[in-house]
Amino acid sequence: MQPMPEDWDRAVAVVAHPDDLEYGVASAVARWTRQGKQVSYLLATRGEAGIAGLAPDLVAPLRVEEERRSAAVVGVTEVEFLGHPDGLVEYGIALRRDLAAAFRRLQPQVIITGSFDLTGAPTHFVDVTETIDAGVASLREHRAYIEGLGGEFDPDEFLKNMAGYVGLGAGCEYAVAFHRYPMG
């Protein structure tokens, strides 16, 4: 792995649900916003199906508010929700149209998203040693969601264990791994 290039000014982070970015990437976002970079969040859903036992019409505004607070912790002021139905997001024209419109408006130089490709190895890392605590604080803003998981979940332990493991391979205390796909 090599360090992620940081010769850019604007990025958009795209995920499906509130809290997806906070399970690791937010620590890198905190590093970048501290450097003066503009990072916007773009979420396909409001996460209305994400808390068992609560009605979607109650969950959606709660999760939207948690995401806005969480983003603010790491220096993100622009958080947009596309409004696709949680649990029913489908690849197709509607999603592509909404993403393309947002990208045209925001003009990102970098797009950050999650991947669950179990065969792809990370190519790059971001040293988040100085911003891991901001990442933890960002995840903690998802209180209702974390409580809805039940059981014991410690955001500090979870994120530091994960980032510590990546950091071992990257040669620093804490790091977040990425697979970089150049856009041009």
The residues, any chain, with a CB within 8 Å of residue 86's CB and separated by 6 or more, are: 16, 17, 45, 46, 47, 48, 49, 50, 56, 60
Length of the chain: 184
Question: Could you report the per-residue pLDDT of 78-87, keeping only the tens digit for each?
Answer: 999 999 999 8
> How many C-alpha atoms does 166 have within 13 Å on its Cβ side?
28
Q: What is the pLDDT of residue 150?
A: 77
Q: Check whether 151 has a pLDDT greater than 80.
A: no
What is d(CA 125, CA 162) in angstroms, rounded to the nearest whole number?
A: 13
Instruction: Give the alpha-carbon dihedral of 142, 146, 148, 150, to 10 degrees.
Output: -170
Cβ atoms of 9 and 38 closer than 8 Å: yes
Please report, for the chain, the start and end positions of each structural domain, with discontinuous segments joined by +.
2-178
- 3-state SS, residue 43: strand
Q: Check whether 116 has a pLDDT greater than 90.
A: no
To the question of pTM greater than 0.85 for the whole model, the response is yes
Q: What is the pLDDT of residue 117?
A: 67
Question: Could you report the per-residue pLDDT of 19-58, keeping only the tens digit for each?
Answer: 999 998 999 999 999 999 999 999 999 999 988 888 999 9
Q: Check whether 118 has a pLDDT greater than 70.
A: no
Cα dist. 97→80, 89, 94, 103 in Å?
A: 15, 13, 5, 10
Positions of E strands within 44-128: 79-81, 110-113, 124-127
Q: How confident is the model at residue 182 (pLDDT cuts 50, 70, 90)?
A: confident
What is d(CA 42, CA 100) in angstroms, rounded to the nearest whole number?
A: 11
What percent of the chain has a predicted confidence (pLDDT) above 70?
97
Average pLDDT of the segment spanning 154-182: 95
Say which CATH superfamily domain 2-178 falls into.
Answer: LmbE-like (3.40.50.10320)
Q: What is the pLDDT of residue 28?
A: 98
